[in-house]
Amino acid sequence: MALAQNSSPLAEMPRRSQPRIITPNKPAEGKNMYPEHVIKGLTTDTNGLNLHENCMKQQLKKDNGLLSPQRQHSPSSFEDDGLLLSTSPFCMSYDRQRKRQSPPPEREWRTLPASEHSKNTVNPIRRIVDVMSVEPNPAKSLIKLHLGDPTLTGTLPPSDAVLKALQEALMSEKYNGYGPAVGLVEVREALARHVTTPEAPVTAEDFILTSGCSHALELAIEGMANAGDNILVPRPGFPLYTTLMRPHGIEDRHYDLQMENGALVNLQHLESLIDERTRAIIVCNPSNPTGAVYSKAHLEAILRIADLYKVPVIADEIYGGMVYDGAVFYPMATLEPKVPIISCDGIAKRYLVPGWRLGWLTIHDRHGALKNVRDGLRNLAQKIVGPCALVQGALPAILDNTPAEFFEHVRNVLTLNAKAAYNTLSAVPGLKPVRPQGAMYMMIGFDADNFPAFKGDELSFVKALIAEESVYCLPGTAFHCPGWIRLVLTYPEEVTLDACERIAAFCSRHYSLRRPTVVANGCYKSSSSIGLDSERLTLNGNEFIAYDIGGHAQAVRLWKDYYPAVDAIIFIIDTSDPQKLPLAKNELSAILMEEQVANCAIAVLGNKIDRFGALSEQQLEDYFELATWRTGKQKGSAGVDRGRRPLEIFMSSITAGQGYGDAFRWINMQLS
């Protein structure tokens, strides 16, 4: 029976020119697809009063052979299979249900793709540690100076008061359930009592408890910035900053630390990076990885820049209080000017329990600038429903009962290790350690030119150190600082000394000046002072390091203090003033007396003496007694034969530069 035109919502829907025919699954011969009690009610016609029910019944009839062929495919009938299953949303839904109920074709499991968010989440330290799969020297004990976990060495156990606090929290059975996402009120109140100062007063409402300081940093970053924004971070710096930002499309914009100046912040560079999308400046003090501790004046200089551009500060102060060698830790929130600051801290490092995963962030909201951010941080805290309630319950007793002697012991261990490592490694040629004053680390630079086997790649340096000496360090690339390595200072002093002595032995084996090094006396940059500048030069395919040591009378003697060994020297003689010749002769003799100098080329400049005319090459040879140096007949200051010296003399016939260029080419041939 056909349905009246306006009796259904489907009446005005367009009809397909060709009905879509769905071939149902056929039941086995003599069997019905559906139970008898379902089929029994389908032998009478339906009126379409319930379209979904009508569709189901129509399909049931069809599946079980109860619908006539004419009615199955009649385009004029509402009960037509093609129209009904093609146009009715109820029937299409039922059609999909039937398909889902049908067993899918067999197929193999495919490899599922990782999300873009997960692919953009990379911790440089973990990635580098994973690729450092090097077999250590089996003849030497392992010394792992690469991971910042103070529990690995056994030297620094947590205080008994800390362990007792956790035991009491456990036995109280008060901390087995959920707590507020921002942390238990009584715990935040204890933190407020512990942290508040007249310069930076806080209440329990200013704290959010987190799963470690890293989680506090994560909340601060996500609460401050959106995709396309940037946050300024130190270089070298804690690599987790990058890990936390990049998956969200936040740029980690690096400001330089002046490694040659105690790893202080390069304030000019910091300021130059700020733009309208800068949402925060991260300051890590005491510093991981450099061990630097910033003075009050330096921190306030950073705050003045933040105040000038109205950029909040995220203060990573997880190592606060872990200072030594006369350094003082100043919480940034206590200093002027009073810019908005989110401080991130925890119990991992200072209390030596990094596995307990409890940290916090403190909101120092000046000028009401962080009102909305505060609400956002509370929302973000709900993602993990708060950190471990048991450790939270122990925190008030940890803060109140850990004795001062515990912290003093930690500082003493760090002091002894820092002094031992710095004194040992600063005496190693090619290494340049930064003296630490806080945290648990020391950074050591190495001169790639002195270790040519590694071609400037500190990862290769570190791998070879493991293979030869069984000492693990972290390469500086983990901290965005190539050419450096980081040591951890938490071992017993004798172990640290052993590790540093192994590093020194390793460096002595690989230290070399194999890359030709040339010193140009006085003319390289027309300098009248000892500039000690260097530059890479390439000639005939060979790369040189050329140094300018100036040209006055003290040049040679001062040069020896800075560059005790070179492959060759180009000695500049200016003959335009005959009164300079005796001085030049003395300086040349002083250079040739040095055992480290293998080759010497003499470039004669300004070879025109008005009164006497130009000197010939033979005259210069005789005057400077070059023949005796070539044959090794000259004696040193102690009467020791210094051996023969390859010597050549090059005259400037056209320009002053020609003699120098010819001398350089000769040096190149000698060193090839």
Cα–Cα dist 591/604, whole Å: 16
Q: How far is CA 354 from the centre of its chain?
A: 20
Beta carbons within 8 Å of 303's beta carbon, 6+ residues apart: 313, 332, 335, 336, 337, 339
- Checking 413-416 for CB contacts under 8 A at 24+ apart, the result is 413/155, 413/156, 413/490, 413/492, 413/493, 414/322, 414/324, 414/440, 414/489, 414/490, 415/324, 415/325, 416/493, 416/496
Cα–Cα dist 461/393, whole Å: 46
CB environment 535-561: b (16+ within 10 A), e (fewer): eeeebeeeebbbbbbbbeeebbeebee
Residue with structure tokens 């929130």? 333
Instruction: Identify the H or E element spanning 395.
Output: helix 389-401
Cα–Cα dist 593/595, whole Å: 6
Instruction: Identify the H or E element spanning 660.
Output: helix 656-671
- In the structure encoding, which two tokens stand for residue 337, read together? 């000017």
Contact 459, 467 (CB under 8 A): no
DSSP-based three-state secondary structure for 590: helix
Query: What number of other Cβ atoms are within 10 A of residue 229's Cβ?
Result: 19
Pairing type for strands 542-548 and 484-488 reads unpaired
- Residue ranges in 402-457 assigned as alpha helix (H): 404-425
**Apex 196 CA angle, 191 and 197, nearest 5:** 160
Residue ranges of the annotated binding site are: 529, 551, 607-610
Q: How far is CA 402 from the centre of its chain?
A: 33
* Helix, strand, coil percentages, rounded to 5, for the chain: 40, 15, 45
* Amino acid, res. 506: F
Closest CA to 237 of 463, 4, 477, 403: 477
Please give the span between the terminal C-alpha atoms of the chain, in angstroms, as a whole number: 103
Cα–Cα dist 669/650, whole Å: 14
Beta carbons within 8 Å of 125's beta carbon, 6+ residues apart: 239, 474, 478
Cα–Cα dist 250/200, whole Å: 30
- In the structure encoding, which two tokens stand for residue 284, read together? 């890590």
Instruction: Identify the H or E element spanning 630.
Output: helix 626-631
How many residues does the structure list for the chain? 672
Cα–Cα dist 213/200, whole Å: 20
Q: E-strand spans in 489-609? A: 517-521, 533-539, 542-548, 568-574, 599-605
Residue ranges of the annotated binding site for Mg(2+) are: 529
Query: What number of other Cβ atoms are within 10 A of residue 171's Cβ?
Result: 8
Residue ranges of the annotated binding site for GTP are: 551, 607-610
* Amino acid, res. 35: P
Residue with structure tokens 């792992």? 144
- In the structure encoding, which two tokens stand for residue 658, read together? 């020609």
- In the structure encoding, which two tokens stand for residue 194, read together? 């512990």
Cα–Cα dist 634/125, whole Å: 57
